[in-house]
Amino acid sequence: MVTIKQVSELAKVSSATVSRVINNADSVKLETRKLVEAAMKELGYRPNSIAQSLASNKTNTVGYVVPQLYGSFGIMMSGSEEVLRRANKHMFIMTGHSNEKDEKSAIEALLMRRCDALILHLESTSDEYLIELAKQKVPFVLVNRVIEAIEDNCISLDNHFGGYLASKALIDKGHRDIAYIAGSLWKSDAIERLQGHKEALAEANIAYDESLIYEGDFQVHSGVEGIETLLNAGKKFSAVACGNDEMASGAIGALRDAGLKVPESVSVVGFDDVEFSNYLTPRLTTIRYPMKEIGQMAARWILNRAYENSSMQLQHVLSPHLIERESVCDAGG
Amino acid sequence: MVTIKQVSELAKVSSATVSRVINNADSVKLETRKLVEAAMKELGYRPNSIAQSLASNKTNTVGYVVPQLYGSFGIMMSGSEEVLRRANKHMFIMTGHSNEKDEKSAIEALLMRRCDALILHLESTSDEYLIELAKQKVPFVLVNRVIEAIEDNCISLDNHFGGYLASKALIDKGHRDIAYIAGSLWKSDAIERLQGHKEALAEANIAYDESLIYEGDFQVHSGVEGIETLLNAGKKFSAVACGNDEMASGAIGALRDAGLKVPESVSVVGFDDVEFSNYLTPRLTTIRYPMKEIGQMAARWILNRAYENSSMQLQHVLSPHLIERESVCDAGG
DNA sequence: AACACACATGTAAACGCTTACAAAACATTC
DNA sequence: GAATGTTTTGTAAGCGTTTACATGTGTGTT
């Protein structure tokens, strides 16, 4: 690999001057600049950014931890990438695999690489660890989770409001017997969404009926099981709200298998608006989880706090909204 | 940030010794090792991998270029991540946005970062550039594309065979009037898939009818348009093979809108087996594109060539296979 | 012609590690 | 107890940049 030294020799200037033209900072006479550029070109010079980082003590890289590389996290990352790219920052992406050990070691690796800042989508790391991280002055934003003590570092979605919106959409169509298939209730988002559902019921003066609630686990099969359980118990309902789109998909299938038409006999709302919800039959009415916007917002936070030292206020809690498609219709068909 | 020097002072040894325990190489007396480890712990020392890379001339990082961060590329990357992680290598992911400028600048950035090797999923970069890259002794694997001159660097899918399999599946069910909705025919994979289709027809002695072919663009809407065009032209067919799942999804919708039942009146096969194909109604019969395996294979190549200097032969062309679900049935219902 | 001042360039120390080589410490053998 | 070998540790020179500071060069003013 060709170094700055070789370029400087060919151009008959000092390496400091070459460095100046690379960073096109300071003043370099146009004439010498041309000379240096010609030399760089001739030698096929590529600045070694490892060395640059060591010397300048910044990597222009933000570390990213996501549970997995596929699925909706990709959307989020591409939101971040879009805004970071404009600022000439890069992302170093690692996966946490939803377990504490991997999440921590991902963060450690990122810190060893001296990332200038971090964007973290964690699932198993403790609040304490993150609070400690904040104490160490590591600039990071925590996505999809809020920890009171470091609230300013958090960007999240208003799950409660989303849950409310979903059920409200059903109620507005005249439904009153509404079943609910929840996600794993040890997860905060599942709880919040369910609470939103309850609020919508309360607001419409519909009595909350515990037996219309089924606790699933966010997977397709639990949507199926939810419907089967409800139906076998002889429950009556004209609509089902689901904790996410996967379960909604399972629910639709199970309803169809039971000879019930969606939405004519039973309306269904999902949550998240994942890619396939638009491909279901009927196309799924759901709550849009603004993954891309969250990714963008996180990147903006980083740009502000870690690179520009501004502390401009950003929106920390994003609002979901309803996407009306075909899986919900008026009560009574 | 605490440095190796501070650790060495606290442990009353030289920095070389600390380095030795970090890399747990060479011989370090157990006693001193304990001493050093205690010091590292006390100071909360994190080796600076930037400095390590500069000194050792390796980054333990493989650069990754994909068109986008979301969609099926995520699956591929996670395949790679899985195998690289076991070897303690990391990935630096960048996006090429399917245009030459971004792809090239991504590669350049990766080289500046002195990645030990690259995995490239490119769409617009010229063969020449890549051949030149190979000449520069940059270890890289090119995914989903084959360039004769650097064949050993390429890992791809047998699209021709996939196209053949898809149409064969239809023919085996007794279909003889088979329409085909192709992807953009300036893309090599679209062409190859179509050729596979033709081969299957030929093998079954079915005359190739140009008017049953529609050229789409791999997007949902072109599946819709394909069906509408064919139907409006008064074409008769009992089955449709599609260049990918998106178009198949569009086709299914259009068929249903035209009052035709899938699969009873018209069978449909897709290609790729993307996530949502399993959620369609009917669940889509399609050709499985082994994205994850390709990612794994690419990572293994890298491990072999760039890190272990072995040159063990790997499978360079992967075979797709048929996933039978519900969108295909016997001709005649 | 002397001076001040801006602008352009060079010198060399740092950044935090690794590693070849040298030195020291210890163990073994005769 | 000297000679030898082995293991452990230290010394110091890199790795390829950036950047504070010093030096040089040119212009305008008096």
Same domain, residue pair A152 and A167: no
Nearest C-alpha neighbor of B146 from the set B315, B316, B311: B316
Same domain, residue pair B168 and B209: yes
Residue B233 resides in a domain: yes
* Residue A38 approaches strand D within 7 Å at CB: no
Q: What angle do CA A186, B275, A260 make, to 5 degrees?
A: 75
* CATH code for the domain in which residue A260 is found: 3.40.50.2300
Task: Answer yes or no: are the C-beta atoms of A230 and A214 closer than 8 Å.
Answer: yes
Mark which of B135, B157, B179 sits at the end of a domain: B157
SS3 B312: coil
Mean pLDDT of A153-180: 97
Residue A13 resides in a domain: yes
Q: What pLDDT does B101 receive?
A: 97
Beta carbons within 10 angstroms of residue A126's beta carbon? 13
How far off is chain B from A326, nearest CA to CA, in Å? 13
Same domain, residue pair B135 and B165: no
Structure tokens at B86: 């076991």
Residue B296 resides in a domain: no
Nearest C-alpha neighbor of B226 from the set B283, B165, B268: B268
Residue A316 resides in a domain: no
Same domain, residue pair A250 and A174: yes
Mark which of B157, B179, B194 sits at the end of a domain: B157
How far off is chain A from B93, nearest CA to CA, in Å? 7
Nearest C-alpha neighbor of A170 from the set A226, A271, A241: A241
Structure tokens at B66: 């994909």
Of B59, B108, B281, the CB nearest to A50: B59
Domain count, chain A: 3
Same domain, residue pair A10 and A128: no
Of B74, B95, B281, the CB nearest to A281: B281
Nucleotide nearest to B17 (CA to C1'): D9
Residue B323 resides in a domain: no
φ, ψ at A270 (rounded to 5°): -105, -160
Q: What pLDDT does A175 receive?
A: 97
Residue A209, judged by CB atoms within 10 A of its CB (0-12, 13-18, 19+), counts as middle
Same domain, residue pair A112 and A232: no
What is the C-alpha to C-alpha distance for residues A182 and A204, in angstroms, rounded to an integer?
A: 20
Same domain, residue pair A67 and A11: no
Interface residues on A facing B, Cβ-Cβ cutoff 8 A: 1, 46-51, 53-54, 59, 68-71, 73-75, 77-78, 81, 90-95, 108-109, 111-114, 249, 256, 275-276, 279-281
Mark which of A157, A173, A188 sits at the end of a domain: A157
What strands lie across the sheet with B267-269, from one edge to the other? B213-215, B178-182, B239-242, B267-269
Q: What pLDDT does A309 receive?
A: 77
Same domain, residue pair A29 and A101: no
* Residue B24 approaches strand D within 7 Å at CB: no
CB pairs under 8 A between A and B: 97
Q: What pLDDT does B24 receive?
A: 84
Task: Answer yes or no: are the C-beta atoms of B51 and A54 closer than 8 Å.
Answer: yes
Residue B328 resides in a domain: no
Of B74, B93, B111, the CB nearest to A70: B74
Across the interface, whether the CB atoms of A112 and B249 are under 8 A apart is answered: no
Across the interface, whether the CB atoms of B279 and A279 are under 8 A apart is answered: yes
On chain C, which bases lie within 7 A of the protein's CB atoms? 7-12, 14-20
Q: For residue B62, what is the nearest residue in chain A, using CA coordinates? A: A92
Same domain, residue pair A185 and A256: yes
Same domain, residue pair B275 and B169: yes
* Residue A22 approaches strand D within 7 Å at CB: yes
* CATH code for the domain in which residue B35 is found: 1.10.260.40
On chain D, which bases lie within 7 A of the protein's CB atoms? 7-12, 14-20
Across the interface, whether the CB atoms of B93 and A93 are under 8 A apart is answered: yes
What is the C-alpha to C-alpha distance for residues A220 and A216, in angstroms, rounded to an integer?
A: 9
Residue A309 resides in a domain: no
Same domain, residue pair B73 and B191: no
How far off is chain B from A57, nearest CA to CA, in Å? 10
Residues lining strand C at under 7 Å (Cβ) are: A 12-17, 20, 26-29, 31-33, 51, 54-55, 57; B 1, 3-5, 15-16, 19-20, 22-23, 25, 45, 47-48, 51-52, 54-56
Q: What pLDDT does A312 receive?
A: 77
User: Which residues, at least 6 apart from B152, have a Cβ–Cβ distance to it below 8 Å?
Assistant: B316
Residue B127 resides in a domain: yes
Q: Which residues span the domain enclosing A280?
A: 159-289
Peptide bond into B290 cis (omega under 30): no
* Residue A5 approaches strand D within 7 Å at CB: yes
Of B53, B74, B279, the CB nearest to A280: B279
What string of pLDDT tens digits covers the 333 residues of chain B?
999 999 999 999 999 999 999 998 778 899 999 999 999 999 999 999 999 999 999 999 999 999 999 999 999 999 999 999 999 999 999 999 999 999 999 999 999 999 999 999 999 999 999 999 999 999 999 999 999 999 999 999 999 999 999 999 999 999 999 999 999 999 889 999 999 999 999 999 999 999 999 999 999 999 999 999 999 999 999 999 999 999 999 999 999 999 999 999 999 999 999 988 988 989 999 999 999 999 999 999 999 999 987 777 888 999 999 999 999 999 887
Q: Which residues of B touch A81 (CB under 8 A)?
A: 69, 95
Q: What pLDDT does B91 receive?
A: 98
Q: What pLDDT does A25 receive?
A: 74
Nearest CA to the C1' of D10 belongs to which residue? B14
Q: What pLDDT does A123 receive?
A: 92
Same domain, residue pair A34 and A137: no
